[in-house]
Structure 1
Amino acid sequence: MTLPARWILRTAHTVYAVRLSPDGPWAELDAWGPHGAEDGPSALDWSRRTHFLTPADAAPAEYLPSGLRPFTGSELIAAREGAERGVWWEFEGAEEQPDGLRLAFADRVLGLRTVLCYATVPGTDVVLRWAEHTCTGGEPLRLERFDSGAVTVPAPDGVRLTYLAGQWSQEFQRTQLELARGTFTLGSVQGVPGHAYAPWLAVQDRTAPPDGPSPAYGLALEWPGNWHITAEAEPGGAVRVRAGRVPHEGVVWLAPGETLTTPRLALAFSPDGLDGLARVWHRWERHLAGPRLERTRRVLYNSWEATGFDVDAAGQLELARAAADIGAELFVVDDGWFTGRGDDTGGLGDWCPDPDAFPQGFGRFVAEVRALGLDLGLWVEPEAVSPGSRLYAEHPDWVYRIDDRPARLVRNQLLLDLGRADVQDFVITTLDRLLSEYDISYLKWDMNRPPTERGRPGAGPADRLDLDAQHVAGYLRVLDHLRAAHPGVAVEGCAGGGGRVDHATLARTDVVWPSDNTAPLDRLRIQFGFLHAHAPHVMSSWVTDAPGVFDPRPRSLAFRFVAACCGVLGIGADLRAWGAEQRAEAARWIARYKQVREVIHHGEIHLLGTPDDPTCGVQFTAPDGGRVVVAAFSTGRLDGAPLVPGRPSRLRLRGLDPAARYHDPAGKTVYRGAHLLHYGLPSQWSAGCDADLVSLTRLEDR
């Protein structure tokens, strides 16, 4: 008996094995897990006896078209105009590469060639998947579905799906459900990943402990436009997950000779549960950052919550002086600095500093801020335009619109069609001008509305315009230009909070803004979910005076600082309203953060408990194990309940050397690693102490 071809992809700690199916012309998953999981009978090689199904419908297929897989969900639906849908392809060949694999399939009758692409990245445990579709015939092809890939997880007892859900101001809520049979789908058609769901999913066996060590499989789609992830619990004891982008008009046309490349789908595995899976994603995002990872992420002050649209040089300088006094390193002027921007009804598109707000010139203002020892940043919203702006008067055709239909305003603004080359050129020229004329080292790129009347009159039939992909390409082109032309400028990604957080954005920005909600307990829950999928060095987090929205329990200034220290620290409170004691406390926290931020941004993370527990925390361990930073939080009642008065709460740390000694200089205590692993790090909570940032140093053995 001749065994089918098999290819093995290896990452730092995992293996991903693919083979040709003995049942038909498709590739299927043979093994995915730790090194060695490929040796032995495949856990996915169950009996091919099926009733009312084809073998392809029951197979753990990596990618199948609807013609071959008619019943249980396919990744590709294609047809010629006026013809029946379906692809019936044959295997053409394989191309093995040092860090990847290409498997080619072709339907010569239809005139379509599909290449399934795989890549591994040295030093990570991520496998990248995507597909390339080429029209090889003489007629255009209609693609109704063209996912990036699918993956199968064996699950005889069903799976637990973990995903990040929410809404504006309540993003990244870790949510779990059990799926034994049926279909679960999440996604967005808002032109960005959206606030409701993140393009990320984790899959575990249903019987695995929710937060303990167990095999965990993860997927994340690298796409800042419309998308979906769909999990299907199939007959036979498996869950198959497919993901891809969603075309705006429901279809994309492929011209003869044209190739469509799908977004990359990142696959990750960890034997250590969701906590271990988070570390795999964090290492991947450190890889995406490249050389930018080595930059020190500066302590930021943002003026928005202090002044809103009421921006003028005198008020901003007063805030800048206060920010410099407490140790901030970067001052960001938010919305309201440009002409016509007295409120949210005007100004967008006319990106010139308001001469009335800066009577001595914006250059003079920038110089005065920098004289305080602060770098300067600006808020921009390059994709938006106000109907009363000069830009709109000159280029009304640059906005998304549908002829003979009203232009709907969201947040009193319209959206530029960034898929147009002339609009991209305008945005690039505008940002180049600002960054060249003024000594600006930071841009906060915001987007506060989704596309609604998404059309481009005069450009041809609407269903022949791939507007979502064109907007994404324009957005990425502008970011790529900023990275190349202004490499010293840091970029923060924002879309009304956490509406556009994905790997394509993270590869081109320095930080992202997870949410507009900065209330302490609300924010802690947002960050808890965010850190499951994304790394601390990309998480911008502010200390403000905002009251709780979803959890109104008050918390101290210390709590707000410790929570913000879990990412890239920023301050957004009105410092003019803070007394001397608050400013002094803030200065102490900022100084402590500067001592440990390299561990936080480069270290290995462990999530200790959840915000639902009376005590929870985040542990950061330096790559060499020499330093451990623990952010600990009292998330229960402020009177210390349910603890017996005088009895400390304890957080069991993870990943330490049991025999090593760890010194806490603040508490003047030395712990054995075994003690911290077994009993935990003690915290004495009270009404006056509800959070702490503990820095432990591993002592040299004597």
Structure 2
Amino acid sequence: MSIHYDSNNKIFHLKSKKSSYIMQVVKEGYLAHLYWGKKVRETRIPNPLRFMDRGFSANPDKRDRAFSLDTLPQEYPSYGNTDFRNPSIHIELPNGASITDLRYHHHEILSGKPDLEDLPATYVEDDSEAETLRLQLKDEETDLYVSLFYTVYQELDVITRAVFVENNGTNELLLSKVASMNVDFRESQYEMINLPGAHVRERDMERLPLRRGKQSVESSRGASSHQQNPFIALVRPETTECTGEAYGFSFVYSGNFEASVEVDQTSQSRVTMGINSFDFSWLLEPGETFQTPEVVMVYSSEGLGEMSRTYHKLYRERLCRGAFRDQERPILINNWEATYFDFNEESILEIADQASKTGIELFVLDDGWFGKRDDDHTSLGDWFVNKWKLPNGLNHLGKKINEKGMQFGLWVEPEMVSVNSELYRKHPDWCLHVPDRRRSESRNQLVLDFSRSDVCEEVLSRITSILESAPIHYVKWDMNRSMTEIGSKSLPAKRQRETAHRYILGLYWVLEKLTTRFPNILFESCSGGGGRFDPGMLYYMPQTWTSDNTDAISRLRIQYGTSLVYPSGSMGSHVSEVPNHQVGRVTPFETRGHVAMDGNLGYELDVTKLSDEELQQISEQVQVYQSIRKTVQFGDLYRLVDPFQCQNYSTIHVNENKSEAVFFYVHVLAEANGPFDKVKLDGLNPDKDYRIIETGEVFGGDELMYMGLNVPYPDHDFKSVMWRLIEQQ
């Protein structure tokens, strides 16, 4: 049993593999948080809650001036009853008031993990993998029921949280905020880590001490965004990659979100995560319900690395789904940086022919194959083949590529529409817009209104027709702008602020239909690169184009930051030409290959213009990657050298039984008369010996982990190594 209830003391104890989460019903039904951390055997609570009369902290019971919700650590705080901190839920009542008083009403313990209606979420394949606590709160005045769901995975230090709201009263209620989780820590000696960034500069790592007041990260762009990722962690000041406590919070959602930490007057820390309440509301008529997305909470007592590996394993095995969840991903070539819009059937087949000779396994035709798409001013939404470029159609092209021994893939951007398109001329109100306001364009395009079922059904029909028309094995699903003028013609005025969330629900509906109908197509998510790299998309598409920035040195920080939450097998990473198209940098072909091999290897260049030497390097990289990709894509990742702390970078991937490993190291800038560097490896079996294939040397796992391994002296900028380690029998 993972979930225990002490009925005498009204204490709930949730036990994962190495952690405990404890809460208690106190006073007149308030749900208090007691502990989350390293696993304890019992719930005798040597540090029970303490109360005192504090000035300006109001009291729900005037007979007890020591008790106030203003200082009580809570599980799901509401607004208006003596708690002045950030609430988890905020509801507007018909009389204009916004007060709710949620008290414990009922609970049940369930085997397994229930699905979330219409939303992506982690799952179990057998009910023995997890237990779920459904803990119901009630507001007596309105007959509002709020069910808190806690799922505990037996073999991972994971607790998932979600909330289900029911209006069982006779009046309509307006949800203006409904978070998916809240945790009140009884201290504030933490640092917060988040992943800020920008387009082509995604997921930097920022780590700062908590300060008094509220600190938050959020997106109001309609997608999870390049600017912030739906993830934060609280860590102790002394926490490192390998030691110390870390608490991770990851939101399984692809739209607007907010994650906040509020440090209060008594140095307690309130962590809240959910749909961004800015420009959000949801009308609940009597009898209606609302389901929040899921938050995945991970505890580690062994540093950030262990937290990350827990997320990686869960997301690889119990978030990603379908045939490609456990399949090695193909090595692909994409024509975008080779041709942009300027291509025809002949030039595409020339690239495919040359690529096939190197052993590349999949050709992806990018933007420009449809409508009258010669630039980014036209044709989004017109999902029919551009016969001027491809006179014989996609089916003929795909079969020709198949004949060369390669699979065929296709780029699409179904959520967008060009003003200069047949679709827009026929349905000008199918985009997100507000009457009498201009329709702001970005990349010369508007956003289709996926909150509308008729739009979703039409897009589904058009994309289905394309996918059925040719031998397509891979789809790159792009989304190249943020949302503006967020409104829908299909919704009444009082529901307009539901549009952004309804859009995401519509998107999920389309993706569920498509991925179910085409189980043998590998879908890759993209939003200008990493603008929607989130767990919600991984549920439908097991990999994401990590960034539109293909420069190998820029990618060190991007891929390192991404790995804090997301597994290597979810990261698309390509070798591109130099000077690099984004930053103009010139890096060695070998280094570009090594950085790309640290994720899902692909190529983004015109192979018809490469030298024989470069083509030979591609062939060698392909062969090497084929020998290591199972370990890279499905093994355990250990981060060894942090490019945010120094310029250099190193990781190692270790397979499940620790018999094979792949070590990467990149030294960014050479230094005259510089030091010799070594790297201490991690994740190996100290009792095994390992042979380094590239050097022939044999060392003990203990030697490599404790003494360290010399790396080559950097005699030029951007020097890298990739070494394969194999157990020596």
Local SS of the residue matching 2:319: helix
Give the corresponding residue for 1:10. Answer: 15
Would the aligned equivalents of 1:76 and 1:147 in 2 still touch at CA under 8 Å? yes
Residue 52 in 1 paired to residue 56 in 2?
yes
Give the corresponding residue for 1:654. Answer: 682
Residue 90 in 1 paired to residue 95 in 2?
no
User: Of residues 230, 252, 262 in structure 2, which corresponds to 1:222?
Assistant: 252
Cα deviation per residue 1:483-526 (whole Å; 9 max; x = unaligned)?
A: 21100001111111111122111111021012111111111110
Moved more, 485-494 or 427-436: 427-436
Local SS of the residue matching 2:320: helix
Give the corresponding residue for 2:337. Answer: 305
The alpha-carbon deviation at position 363 of structure 1 amounts to 1.8
Residue 396 in 1 paired to residue 428 in 2?
yes
Q: Which amino acid aligns with 1:225?
A: G
Would the aligned equivalents of 2:693 and 2:723 in 1 still touch at CA under 8 Å? no
Aligned counterparts of 2:485 and 2:42: Cα–Cα separation in 1 = 50
Give the corresponding residue for 1:28. Answer: 32
Residue 237 in 1 paired to residue 267 in 2?
yes
The alpha-carbon deviation at position 288 of structure 1 amounts to 1.1
User: Of residues 62, 79, 86 in structure 1, which corresponds to 2:75?
Assistant: 62
Would the aligned equivalents of 2:239 and 2:245 in 1 still touch at CA under 8 Å? no
Cα deviation per residue 1:273-317 (whole Å; 9 max; x = unaligned)?
A: 111111111011112124532212000100000000112111111
Kindly tell me: are residues 553 and 404 of structure 1, through their superposed partners in 2, closer, same or farther at Cα, counting changes over 3 Å? closer
Kindly tell me: are residues 536 and 151 of structure 1, through their superposed partners in 2, closer, same or farther at Cα, counting changes over 3 Å? same
Cα deviation per residue 1:209-259 (whole Å; 9 max; x = unaligned)?
A: 443410100001111111100011223333221011025633221111001
Would the aligned equivalents of 2:181 and 2:274 in 1 still touch at CA under 8 Å? yes
Aligned counterparts of 2:683 and 2:394: Cα–Cα separation in 1 = 51
Would the aligned equivalents of 1:30 and 1:44 in 2 still touch at CA under 8 Å? yes
Aligned counterparts of 2:536 and 2:592: Cα–Cα separation in 1 = 30
Give the corresponding residue for 2:63. Answer: none
The alpha-carbon deviation at position 373 of structure 1 amounts to 0.8
Q: How do 1:48-127 residues align onto structure 2 when only pairs under 5 Å count? A: 48-54=52-58, 55-98=68-111, 99-127=131-159
Question: Structure 2-normalised TM-score?
Answer: 0.91
Local SS of the residue matching 1:128: strand
The alpha-carbon deviation at position 547 of structure 1 amounts to 4.4
Give the corresponding residue for 2:471. Answer: 439
Give the corresponding residue for 2:124. Answer: none
The alpha-carbon deviation at position 690 of structure 1 amounts to 1.0
Would the aligned equivalents of 1:339 and 1:354 in 2 still touch at CA under 8 Å? yes
Cα deviation per residue 1:14-52 (whole Å; 9 max; x = unaligned)?
A: 2222221x2442222222223227655365735455332
Kindly tell me: are residues 462 and 249 of structure 1, through their superposed partners in 2, closer, same or farther at Cα, counting changes over 3 Å? farther
Q: How do 1:458-537 residues align onto structure 2 when only pairs under 5 Å count? A: 459-537=491-569
Moved more, 664-673 or 147-156: 147-156
Q: Which amino acid aligns with 1:627?
A: E
Q: Which amino acid aligns with 2:32?
A: E
The alpha-carbon deviation at position 638 of structure 1 amounts to 2.9
Would the aligned equivalents of 2:38 and 2:301 in 1 still touch at CA under 8 Å? yes
Kindly tell me: are residues 521 and 24 of structure 1, through their superposed partners in 2, closer, same or farther at Cα, counting changes over 3 Å? farther
Q: Which amino acid aligns with 1:693?
A: M
Give the corresponding residue for 2:607. Answer: 575
Would the aligned equivalents of 1:408 and 1:452 in 2 still touch at CA under 8 Å? yes
Q: Which amino acid aligns with 1:245?
A: I
The alpha-carbon deviation at position 108 of structure 1 amounts to 2.4
Local SS of the residue matching 2:34: strand
Q: Which amino acid aligns with 1:267?
A: M
Would the aligned equivalents of 1:9 and 1:100 in 2 still touch at CA under 8 Å? no
Q: Which amino acid aligns with 1:232?
A: E
The alpha-carbon deviation at position 102 of structure 1 amounts to 1.1
Aligned counterparts of 2:728 and 2:51: Cα–Cα separation in 1 = 56
Moved more, 454-463 or 196-205: 454-463
Aligned counterparts of 1:18 and 1:109: Cα–Cα separation in 2 = 25
Local SS of the residue matching 2:325: helix
Kindly tell me: are residues 189 and 655 of structure 1, through their superposed partners in 2, closer, same or farther at Cα, counting changes over 3 Å? same
Q: Which amino acid aligns with 1:620?
A: H
Kindly tell me: are residues 52 and 73 of structure 1, through their superposed partners in 2, closer, same or farther at Cα, counting changes over 3 Å? same
Kindly tell me: are residues 95 and 372 of structure 1, through their superposed partners in 2, closer, same or farther at Cα, counting changes over 3 Å? same
Would the aligned equivalents of 1:640 and 1:686 in 2 still touch at CA under 8 Å? no
Give the corresponding residue for 2:708. Answer: 680
Give the corresponding residue for 1:251. Answer: 281
Q: Which amino acid aligns with 1:92?
A: H
Would the aligned equivalents of 1:12 and 1:125 in 2 still touch at CA under 8 Å? yes
Aligned counterparts of 2:349 and 2:665: Cα–Cα separation in 1 = 35
Q: Which amino acid aligns with 1:60?
A: P
Kindly tell me: are residues 426 and 52 of structure 1, through their superposed partners in 2, closer, same or farther at Cα, counting changes over 3 Å? same
Would the aligned equivalents of 1:661 and 1:671 in 2 still touch at CA under 8 Å? yes
Q: Which amino acid aligns with 1:360?
A: N
Kindly tell me: are residues 344 and 69 of structure 1, through their superposed partners in 2, closer, same or farther at Cα, counting changes over 3 Å? farther
Would the aligned equivalents of 1:248 and 1:468 in 2 still touch at CA under 8 Å? no
Kindly tell me: are residues 108 and 546 of structure 1, through their superposed partners in 2, closer, same or farther at Cα, counting changes over 3 Å? farther
Give the corresponding residue for 2:309. Answer: 279
Kindly tell me: are residues 83 and 619 of structure 1, through their superposed partners in 2, closer, same or farther at Cα, counting changes over 3 Å? same
Kindly tell me: are residues 339 and 231 of structure 1, through their superposed partners in 2, closer, same or farther at Cα, counting changes over 3 Å? same
Aligned counterparts of 2:708 and 2:190: Cα–Cα separation in 1 = 31
Q: Which runs of 5+ in 1 are unaligned?
A: none
Residue 606 in 1 paired to residue 638 in 2?
yes
Kindly tell me: are residues 336 and 30 of structure 1, through their superposed partners in 2, closer, same or farther at Cα, counting changes over 3 Å? same
Local SS of the residue matching 1:187: strand
Give the corresponding residue for 1:288. Answer: 319
Kindly tell me: are residues 290 and 672 of structure 1, through their superposed partners in 2, closer, same or farther at Cα, counting changes over 3 Å? same
The alpha-carbon deviation at position 111 of structure 1 amounts to 2.8
Q: Which runs of 5+ in 2 are unaligned?
A: 1-5, 59-67, 112-130
Q: How do 1:291-440 residues align onto structure 2 when only pairs under 5 Å count? A: 291=322, 292-440=324-472
Kindly tell me: are residues 484 and 48 of structure 1, through their superposed partners in 2, closer, same or farther at Cα, counting changes over 3 Å? farther
Percent identity of equivalent pairs: 27
Would the aligned equivalents of 2:246 and 2:300 in 1 still touch at CA under 8 Å? yes
Local SS of the residue matching 2:161: strand
Moved more, 684-693 or 371-380: 684-693
Aligned counterparts of 1:674 and 1:370: Cα–Cα separation in 2 = 47
Moved more, 23-32 or 507-516: 23-32
Kindly tell me: are residues 325 and 48 of structure 1, through their superposed partners in 2, closer, same or farther at Cα, counting changes over 3 Å? farther
Alignment RMSD, CA only?
2.1
Question: Structure 1-normalised TM-score?
Answer: 0.95
Aligned counterparts of 1:574 and 1:685: Cα–Cα separation in 2 = 32
Residue 617 in 1 paired to residue 622 in 2?
no
Aligned counterparts of 1:365 and 1:455: Cα–Cα separation in 2 = 40
Kindly tell me: are residues 496 and 485 of structure 1, through their superposed partners in 2, closer, same or farther at Cα, counting changes over 3 Å? same
Aligned counterparts of 1:640 and 1:417: Cα–Cα separation in 2 = 57
Cα deviation per residue 1:41-96 (whole Å; 9 max; x = unaligned)?
A: 36573545533225222222110110235311110111312321110133211112
Aligned counterparts of 1:552 and 1:47: Cα–Cα separation in 2 = 61
The alpha-carbon deviation at position 548 of structure 1 amounts to 6.2
